């Protein structure tokens, strides 16, 4: 059964999803019919669920392709997981389908990624503190 | 590493010297924190950004205790915590799987460490010596400790500026570094608006109130030259601008502990279409959450929920910033009148 991974924070703002992977610092916004489709999570069979969604909403082939690609990207990014049993806690969203964008779009925000990949491992002295003091050379501090 | 054992070891050694500390009480939101410093030089460094929060009311009941010490006060030098690389995630956030009571913030490339016992609200900031204090740390003194303490409260520190016209209309200016946040906040302050903060402010997400926290601002040299030339002489680290941002102390800060929030405005460096426009709430969430949660990495899910509540409660705008200060001030003044 597919559902949003537990470690992912999801919020609905103005009929758009904002997804945050709080472990990696990657953020995503999701717009369009894909929002309505993915609000049906959890479900077991992606193809069957998408088929029903397309038929019910009279969605175009292009849009079907967009949703399929977004689905693959969400799996690739480990935002959605496939677990053998139904999760205890699931998300519930109230979406106004008349106000969602016409086309599905997933945007990734990775502004923080470089900062998150800082290498923290340094040579240390006998007390465990770093041998070189870099505090004055680093232009950090937000 | 078991954080509990490390905390208790450090705490016992800190408490052994309790007669040698100076106590200062500061207001943090509607609460108070007792801060014990091990020497006057250390106190001077860490209190210039929070001096306006000091209270001399002997009847205050503090809900947070902070020990701020150097190695000089301890009988034996403090050893670094032993860490496994896979336990240290992100920027100093340690996966304290052994307990959700104790917190540690440790960046192994620095000679400083933060520790916290969330059951008794006791925090320790240790730095090897005065010269080992990273230049940015005293510009938002004890930020990580205030964050830990706030986790069980409706408070949330956020990376944002805040400005008010007269106390009635107060707006937050959240944005990542380099997007015009400090420039906008400081230009409005120089034009007579009330300054609540430039870098980190504290929000009560239940009451939708912003609290003043720090009286410092940090700006890039190029920003000073271009937009804030009258502040160049007031920079307190003039001889270190090659490695550091310029640090300003906001003088004569009005003591405005708390003001209701009127909205969230995201500054945006733009080449046209200048003005303040309503925008999607997800843009505001993206302006606040990534940088805030990067700087304050513990219990991100709790903070994310609080930030969401803040964003859902308030109107959100984007401000395509004009380059001329007069235009900027006029746009903001007009916007406040119309809102």
Amino acid B309: pLDDT: 96
pLDDT digit string, tens, across residues B11-27 = 999 999 989 999 999 99
Instruction: Find the mean pLDDT for residues A64-70.
Output: 96
B171 and B60 assigned to the same domain: no
Amino acid A118: pLDDT: 44
Instruction: Find the mean pLDDT for residues B262-266.
Output: 97
CA distance A120 to B105: 13
Does any CB of chain A come closer than 8 Å to the CB of residue B178? no
What CATH code is carried by the domain that includes residue B311? 3.40.50
**ipTM score of complex:** 0.73
Q: How far is B280 from chain A (nearest CA, A)?
A: 7
Other residues' Cβ atoms within 10 Å of the Cβ of residue A39: 17
CA distance B247 to B214: 12
Chain A residues whose C-beta is within 8 A of a chain B C-beta are 9, 11, 13-14, 16, 18, 20, 22-23, 25, 27, 29, 109, 111-112, 115-116, 118, 120-122, 124, 127-130, 133-142
Q: How far is A135 from chain B (nearest CA, A)?
A: 5
Please determine, for residue B4, whether its predicted confidence score (pLDDT) is greater than 70: yes
Please determine, for residue A136, whether its predicted confidence score (pLDDT) is greater than 60: no
User: Are B290 and A116 within 8 A, CB to CB?
Assistant: no
Amino acid A120: pLDDT: 42
Decide which of B123, B150, B177 is a domain's last residue. Answer: B150
Amino acid B96: pLDDT: 57
B50 and B78 assigned to the same domain: yes
User: Are B140 and B149 within 8 A, CB to CB?
Assistant: no
Instruction: Find the mean pLDDT for residues A84-94.
Output: 73
- pLDDT confidence tier of residue B253, bands split at 50, 70 and 90: low
- Best mutation target among A9, A23, A132 (most B Cβ atoms within 10 Å) is A9
Please give the order of strands across the beta sheet that includes B122-127: B54-55, B22-28, B31-37, B64-70, B122-127, B112-117, B102-105, B93-94, B88-89
Q: Which pTM was predicted?
A: 0.88
pLDDT digit string, tens, across residues B315-337 = 999 999 998 999 999 999 999 88
B248 and B187 assigned to the same domain: yes
B237 and B297 assigned to the same domain: yes
Please determine, for residue A115, whether its predicted confidence score (pLDDT) is greater than 80: no
B104 and B160 assigned to the same domain: no
Domain count, chain B: 2
Share of residues in chain A with pLDDT > 70 (%): 74
Instruction: Pick A83 or A50 by higher pLDDT.
Output: A50
B145 and B162 assigned to the same domain: no
């Amino acid at each position: 059964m597919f559902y949003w991974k537990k470690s992912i924070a999801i919020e609905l703002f103005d009929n758009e999803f904002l997804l945050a992977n709080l472990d990696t610092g990657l953020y995503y916004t999701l717009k369009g019919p894909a929002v309505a489709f993915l609000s049906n999570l959890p479900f077991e069979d992606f193809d069957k669920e998408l088929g029903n969604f397309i038929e019910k909403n009279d969605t175009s082939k292009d849009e079907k392709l967009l949703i399929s690609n977004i689905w693959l990207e969400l799996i690739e990014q480990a935002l959605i997981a496939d677990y053998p049993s139904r999760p205890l806690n699931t998300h519930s969203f109230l979406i106004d389908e008349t106000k969602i964008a016409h086309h599905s779009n997933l945007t990734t925000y990775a502004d923080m990624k470089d900062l998150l990949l800082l290498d923290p491992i340094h040579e240390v002295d006998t007390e465990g503190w770093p041998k070189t003091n870099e505090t004055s050379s680093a232009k950090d501090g937000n | 590493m078991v954080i509990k054992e490390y905390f208790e070891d450090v705490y016992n050694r800190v408490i052994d010297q309790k007669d040698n500390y100076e106590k200062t009480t500061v207001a943090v939101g509607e609460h108070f924190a007792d801060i014990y410093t091990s020497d006057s030089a250390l106190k001077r460094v860490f209190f210039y950004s929070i001096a306006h929060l000091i209270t001399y009311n002997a009847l205050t009941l503090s809900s947070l205790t902070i020990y701020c010490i150097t190695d000089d006060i301890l009988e034996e030098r403090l050893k670094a915590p032993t860490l496994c690389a896979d336990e240290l995630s992100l920027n100093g956030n340690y996966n304290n799987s052994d307990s959700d009571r104790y917190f540690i913030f440790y960046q192994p490339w620095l000679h400083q460490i933060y520790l916290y016992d969330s059951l008794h609200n006791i925090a320790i900031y240790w730095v090897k010596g005065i010269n080992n204090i990273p230049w940015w740390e005293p510009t938002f003194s004890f930020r990580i400790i205030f964050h830990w303490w706030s986790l069980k409260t409706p408070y949330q520190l956020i990376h944002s500026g805040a400005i008010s016209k007269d106390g009635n209309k107060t707006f937050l200016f959240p944005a990542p570094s380099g997007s015009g946040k400090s420039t906008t906040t400081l230009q409005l302050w120089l034009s007579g608006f009330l300054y609540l903060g430039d870098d980190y402010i504290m929000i009560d997400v239940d009451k939708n109130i912003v609290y003043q926290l720090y009286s410092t601002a940090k700006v890039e040299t190029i920003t000073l030259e271009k937009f804030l030339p009258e502040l160049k002489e007031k920079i307190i680290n003039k001889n270190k601008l090659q490695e550091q941002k310029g640090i300003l102390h906001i003088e004569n800060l009005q003591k405005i502990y708390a003001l209701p929030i009127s909205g969230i405005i995201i500054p945006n460096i733009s080449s046209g279409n200048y003005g303040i426009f309503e925008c999607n709430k997800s843009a505001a969430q993206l302006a606040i959450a990534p940088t805030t949660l990067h700087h304050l990495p513990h219990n991100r899910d709790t903070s994310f929920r609080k930030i969401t509540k803040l964003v859902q409660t308030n109107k959100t705008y984007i401000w395509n910033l004009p380059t001329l200060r007069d235009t900027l001030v006029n746009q903001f003044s007009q916007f406040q009148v119309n809102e």
